[in-house]
Amino acid sequence: MNPRNIDIKNYSYPLPDEKIAKHPLDRRDACRLLVRSADGAVSDRRFDELPGLLPDNALLIYNNTRVINARLRFRKPTGGLIEIFCLEPASPSDYALNFASTGGCSWYCLVGNSKKWKDGALEGAVSLADGRTVCLTAKRTGRNDTESTIAFSWDDQGVSFSEIISAAGEIPIPPYLNRDTEASDSDDYQTVYSRVEGSVAAPTAGLHFTDKVLTEIDRRGIGRREVTLHVGAGTFRPVKAEHIGNHDMHSEFIVVGLGLIEELAAIAAGRSKKIIAVGTTSVRTLESLYHIGCLIAEGTWQGELPQWYPYDDRHPRLSTAKALETLAEHLRDRGLTSLVASTRIIIAPGYDYRIVSGMITNFHQPQSTLLLLVSAFIGPEWRQVYDHALASDYRFLSYGDACLFLKPQQ
């Protein structure tokens, strides 16, 4: 199957607004969990049962990214409201360096009410947690059809941009919730293990985990490892093209430690563990590692995994172990302890999963690339699974219920 020819209308289903969870449950791990076993059997469980449902030889991989207060609002002197949605850092382009910047930095942003911001700078007072007040200035220095480059500056050199955005911004909850951000979202829309700032959307499969669930997973002797993928606003973007070959995936920033890559290579060589990805962001990160290794082996790696490379006829199709060993050797030769890269991978029916043996995920929007990813994993049975969830009153999307999918038996 050539995924470029997939008609996105074949990946739609009716999703009434009342099925979309507008808020999480009071207890994160009390949500429902739909389990599809490797033999295709579907059962209805609760998320706090997850530790006992994981294979004994599972290795859990989760995304440690933390959602930033990416939505900033400025009031023009004339009274007009301008909203700036920070997407990714422009200068410095490194996330950590940008957040540590004092005095100024720039970001690629979406600008709401953009037509009313002709030129000039916007200013606003920011009240910091320690009681100080800082004057924040935003100036547009570039733009294209969809994005603007915004230079931020502030009048206190002792304050970092991380402090600025934490105090001035608000959590950007998904637009399909059809409500304003509430104070509770600052905690609700973060995973309990989030620690690396950079996302503008949560890796929502992780929202169900609690310290209790993680402790029980540890008690069973199931390993846990982490990767970083900073989720961009493109995760909310539906596929509008009739065929997905005309849909452009957004670039996503990933970081994976050398130690984990070496461990995954050893697992692939011995088939000793089942890799269970927590969320589609972890899936995309892990599967990207294989293809990056193949690009390195070809001598064509340039820092970003192209969207359609996994389906390229010229792809070398190395063994998983060989590709990961090649990637690890590449890092060691350069004295690097982590892979820092970008990926545009699109996972759709016709994709051959190389690393992931199972995934924990939420229910996704109709006609979305995330639904394509799920379909590529469990096959056309995705529709029966979603029909069952709808008929059984599961809660959908970011604050909704969860699924555990184990790789179908071959």
The reply to whether 187 falls in a domain is no
In the chain, how long is the greatest CA-to-CA distance?
66
Same domain, residue pair 88 and 15: no
Q: How far apart are CA 104 and CA 311, in angstroms?
A: 42
Task: State the pLDDT at residue 408.
Answer: 82
Bridge partners of residue 75, in order along the sequence: 81
Q: Determine phi and psi for 250, rounding to 5 degrees.
A: -80, 155
Q: Tell me which residue range forms the domain holding 126.
A: 71-169
CB atoms within 10 A of CB 319: 12
Are 254 and 390 found together in one domain? yes
pLDDT averaged over consecutive 10-residue blocks of the chain (410 residues)? 90 96 97 96 98 97 97 89 94 95 95 86 93 95 90 94 95 92 96 96 97 98 97 79 93 96 97 94 98 98 97 96 98 98 96 98 96 97 98 98 89
Considering the entire predicted model, what is its pTM? 0.94
Number of domains in the chain: 2
Report how far residue 362's alpha carbon sits from residue 79's, in angstroms, rounded to the nearest whole number: 41
Q: Give the pLDDT score at 406.
A: 97
Tell me, what's the pLDDT at 150?
A: 96
Residues 56 and 89 in one domain: no
Q: What is the pLDDT of residue 80?
A: 87
Of the candidates 128, 153, 169, which is a domain's last residue?
Answer: 169
Task: Tell whether 253 and 374 lie within a shared domain.
Answer: yes
d(C-alpha 404, C-alpha 232), whole Å: 24
pLDDT given at position 78: 83
Same domain, yes or no: 238 and 329: yes
Q: Any bridge partners for residue 336, and if so which? A: none
Q: Is 170 helix (H, G, I), strand (E, B) or coil?
A: strand
| Residue 217 belongs to some domain of the structure | yes
Residue 1: the pLDDT is 66
Residue 162 placed within a domain:
yes
The CATH number of whichever domain residue 211 belongs to comes to 3.40.1780.10
183 domain residue, yes or no: no
